[in-house]
Amino acid sequence: MSDATTDEPLVLGIESSCDETGVAFVRGTTLVGDALASSVDEHARFGGVVPEVASRAHLESMIPMLERASAEAGHRLDDVDAIAVTSGPGLAGALMVGVASAKALALCLDKPLYGVNHLAAHVCADVLDHGPLPEPTVALLVSGGHTNLLVVRDIASDVEELGSTIDDAAGEAYDKVARVLGLPYPGGPHIDRAARDGDPEAIAFPRGLTSRKDMERHRFDYSFSGLKTAVVRWVEARERAGEPVPVADVAASFSHAVADVLTRKAVLACTELGISDLQIGGGVTANTQLRELAEKRCAEAGIRLRVPRIRLCTDNGAMVAALGSQMVMRGLPPSDLALPADSSLPVASVQA
Amino acid sequence: MLLAIDTATQAVTVAVHDGATVVAEQAHTDTRRHTELLTPTIRDVLREAGLRPRDLSAVAVGVGPGPFTGLRVGIVTARTMGLALGVPVHGVCSLDALAHATFAAGQTRRFLVATDARRKEVYWAAYDVTDEGVRRTDGPDVARPAELPGHLRGLPTAGRGTELYPEALPHALPQLDVSAGALATFVTGALRRGESLLEPQPLYLRRPDAVPQAERTPVTP
Ligand SMILES: [Zn+2]
């Protein structure tokens, strides 16, 4: 590969770690083509992602998404300088579809292959909206699958986990609370809508891992299982008493409890590490209260906040291509063609 | 130049056929590492045949039935190669491929193919043998080996089913896994005769085992 292409490499990214099949083309830090197929509707009646259903959907969507992204980008597959793929963490059977497809492309097109970490890719998505990441930066990832607090010193090679959820991901708590409130799956958008008419201070739901003792042992970890149970108990007590459930107040108070603990610890991490940039990513970023509270607290603490547009916060191929592009630009060696799908790839392994 | 791959049995198997003969073939029998092994094996087989991917004119892939994860690795690899190279992708029932290898090895009478379906079951199909080759008469389907009808269990049987369930399937033939070489030979012959092959769609034979969520019933005091 010549130096000219290393400046602004054209990278194809493939994402298949959960229920979205994403394929995108990125040139340097510019998104030029982006195709996404979701199997979310197929999981709705199960109340959560069913791995086998997700894997089947990835197989059916992979070729159409490659074709669509290619058409949208106005590039042939042959034009790319490298192929990037999420190799973990995620659902094993789902990851394998994307990894196998990426390897076949790398072999047939004779292009380098980069296996990338899904969590680091989430953080990297923001370069497509706001340009190069300030480094170091603290990153908070919140979705149906992850809740992680990271410190990013180099997006292509140095990401460290400060903390993560010790039980449910924040997004899972949204799904379960939505269910108890009779709202559809996935719960996030429905709770957000219901919460707009509610009082976030109406009910004092617990803030997980914020007691003094927990702040010693789990300073930057999260827990949403206790909160979820508290909401379920509260709602059921109302139902037993034959009283109406104030859905808007429950949604607003629950959502506020989540946003409070997420932003409190993220801002604390920035202050304690002396880092003045915070980036938030993942599907739960669409939540109004989380965005507003993050903006308010960051402004108070003098922290610059970066949040990519929501399309880039949920799982997609663009973030994978963006991270692959960073690796190519830094001249990092490609991954081996024997690259595995690693469902529990640690976040410190930015490249697999 | 036809590339053939199959990942529906314990083997990750790859072969190249030049229209007259199998020019290179490799297999690994590590059932847990299909994702890792398949593409490097394709690279190695092409290298052994002195070919580049662009020299291929078609891809053939075993579409199962077989354990789903491995099956999908093979099918998505074949489909992606077809897209990247602009060549057709043909599907073949993996049990048929195993049957053709069994016939090629000299089997002269009716036989059964039974492969590992996990969960104490086998994927199976039964074949008649004629002068021209084999013809599937029953299956493919999935069943507990002991619950197959006696007239099928009594047949000579190819596939790992005999290794896993020797009491139910006592008449073992030596062919245990699919050979991509045999698959390639079958596909080359079928294409020459103008026969249609399958779409590269998996033969799952089982639904995803997930239970739809029940209506929520509040806990009573
Ligand atoms: Zn994600």
- CB-based contact A78:B86 (threshold 8 Å): no
Do A271 and A178 lie in one domain? The reply is: yes
Q: Could you tell me the distance, in angstroms and rounded to a whole number, from the CA of residue A116 to the centre of ligand 1?
A: 13
Could you tell me the CA-to-CA distances from A101 to A216, B27, B79 in Å, in that order?
A: 45, 20, 8
* pLDDT above 90: residue A256: yes
For tokens 């007259």, the residue is B20
Question: Is A188 part of any known ligand binding site?
Answer: yes
Taking 80 as the threshold, does the pLDDT of residue A2 lie above it? Answer: no
B14 has a chain A CB within 8 A of its CB:
no
Q: What is the pLDDT along chain B (221 residues), one digit of tens a residue?
A: 999 999 999 999 999 999 999 999 999 997 788 999 999 999 999 999 999 999 999 999 999 999 999 999 999 999 999 999 999 999 999 999 999 999 999 999 999 999 999 999 999 999 999 988 899 999 999 999 999 999 999 999 999 999 999 999 999 999 999 999 999 999 999 999 999 999 999 999 988 877 777 666 554 43
CA distance B189 to chain A (A): 26
Same domain, residue pair A148 and A249: yes
Whether A62 and A181 map to the same domain: the answer is no
The ipTM estimated for the assembled molecules is 0.95
Please answer yes or no on whether B210 and A53 come within 8 Å at the CB atom. Answer: yes
Is A46 in the same domain as A194? Answer: no
Do residues A210 and A297 both lie within one domain? yes
Per-residue model confidence as pLDDT tens digits over A137-165: 999 999 888 899 999 999 999 999 999 99
The pLDDT value recorded for residue B211 is 73
- CB–CB contact A93 B33 (8 Å): no
Say whether both A45 and A96 belong to one domain: yes
Q: What is the pLDDT of residue B216?
A: 64
Q: Report if residue A193 sits inside a domain.
A: yes
Residue A339 lies in a domain: no
Question: Is A145 one of the annotated binding-site residues?
Answer: yes
- Do residues A254 and A205 touch, judged by C-beta distance below 8 A? yes
pLDDT at A339 over 80: yes
- Tell me the mean pLDDT in the region A73-82: 97
Contacts of B89 in chain A (CB under 8 A): none
CB contact B81 to A (< 8 Å) = yes
A141 and A87 together in one domain: no
Residue in chain A closest to B36 (alpha carbons) equals A338
Provide the token pair at A78.
């042959």
Indicate whether A3 belongs to any domain: no
Do B72 and A47 count as a contact with CB atoms less than 8 A apart? no
Indicate whether A111 and A154 sit together in one domain: no
- Which residues are registered as beta bridge partners of A117? A88
Strand order in the sheet with B22-28: B22-28, B12-17, B2-6, B58-62, B89-92
User: Per the domain annotation, does A68 fall within a domain?
Assistant: yes
Residue A352 domain flag: no
* Count of A-B CB contacts under 8 Å: 113
Q: Per-domain residue ranges for chain B?
A: 2-94+178-192, 95-164
Q: Do A107 and B39 touch (CB under 8 A)?
A: yes
Nearest to B210 among A52, A180, A337 (CB): A52
In a domain, A340, yes or no: no
Residue B192 is predicted with a pLDDT of: 95
The count of domains in chain A is: 2
**Domain co-membership, A265 together with A145:** yes
Q: Which residue of B has its CA nearest to A181?
A: B216
CB-CB under 8 Å, B80 with A101:
yes
Partner A, chain B 137-156, Cβ-Cβ below 8 Å: none
- pTM exceeds 0.90 for this model: yes
Asked if residue A293 and residue A164 are part of one domain, the reply reads: yes
The pLDDT confidence band at residue A247, using thresholds 50, 70 and 90, is very high
pLDDT for B215 equals 63
A302's CB contacts (< 8 A; 6+ apart) are A276
The pLDDT of residue A7 is 83
Q: Does the beta carbon of B38 lie under 8 angstroms from any beta carbon of chain A?
A: yes
Mean pLDDT of all residues in A36-59 = 92
Residue of B nearest to A57 (CA): B72
Same structural domain for residues A109 and A230? no
Q: In which order are the strands placed within the sheet that holds B122-129?
A: B134-143, B122-129, B111-116, B157-158
* Owner of token pair 């081996």: A336
CA end-to-end distance (rounded Å), chain B = 72
CATH number for the domain spanning A246: value is 3.30.420.40
* pLDDT value for B156: 98
Distance, in Å, from the CA atom of B63 to the CA atom of B198, rounded to the nearest integer, reads 8
Is A269 inside any structural domain? yes
Residues of A with CB below 8 A from B37's CB?
Answer: 338
Q: Is position A13 annotated in a ligand binding site? A: no
Domain that holds residue A95: 10-125+316-329
CATH class of B2-94+178-192: alpha beta
Peptide bond into B65 cis (omega under 30): yes
Q: What is the mean pLDDT of residues A337-346?
A: 96
**A166 within some domain:** yes
Q: Which CATH class is domain B95-164?
A: alpha beta
CB contact under 8 A, A66 and B77: no
H/E element holding B48? helix B34-48
Could you give phi then psi for residue A121, rounded to 5 degrees?
-65, -40
Residues of chain A neighbouring B7 (CB-CB closer than 8 A)? none
Do A166 and A254 fall into the same domain?
yes
A229 CA distance to ligand 1 middle (Å): 25
| For B33, nearest residue in chain A (alpha carbons) | A340
Q: Are B2-94+178-192 and B95-164 in the same CATH fold? A: yes
For residue A144, the model assigns a pLDDT of 84
